[in-house]
Amino acid sequence: MSRSPAVPGGTLVLDSEGLAKAVLRDRTVTGWLALARADDLRVITSAATLVEVVHPRINRPALEWTLSRLVVEPVTESIAQHAATLLADTSLHGHKYAIDAMLSATALAAAGPVTVLTSDPEDLTTLCGRRVTVIKI
């Protein structure tokens, strides 16, 4: 039995570096996005990730176009509480790892299988464990 074409086959998650590289049309990230589209994967990031990516020199039209092609998941109370639990469970401090924890909680709440594109695979692997595939970009 195959899945319905209307149901995504999993989720691709972009961290701040993944989103920044998507905005810059980085060849590797663009390839991942094309594969995600071809495989009917949902492409997401956390609203917290925008805080890291948006800065005065960013190409706003390119950012807006990129954001129109993915889903920006909100940081709800549930996601925030899960992020805090991930930090506590891994003995990491919220100040340094807060945005990674919110992205991790968002990834863990997404439909699987989940793949995260990140420049920081060690921290995301620590936070997510083996429940997601973490790819260094």
The CATH code of the domain that includes 103 is 3.40.50.1010
- Would you say the pTM of this structure is higher than 0.85? yes
Segment 83-102 shows an average pLDDT of 93
Residue 1: band (very low, low, confident or very high) from pLDDT cuts 50, 70, 90: very low
Does residue 99 sit in helix, strand or coil?
helix
Structural domain of 92: 20-136
pLDDT at 3: 47
CA distances from 35 to 12, 120, 122 (A): 10, 22, 24
Strand partners for 73: 46
Q: What is the CA radius of gyration of the chain?
A: 15
The structural domain count of the chain equals: 1
CA separation for the pair 87, 17 (Å, rounded): 21
pLDDT at 8: 54
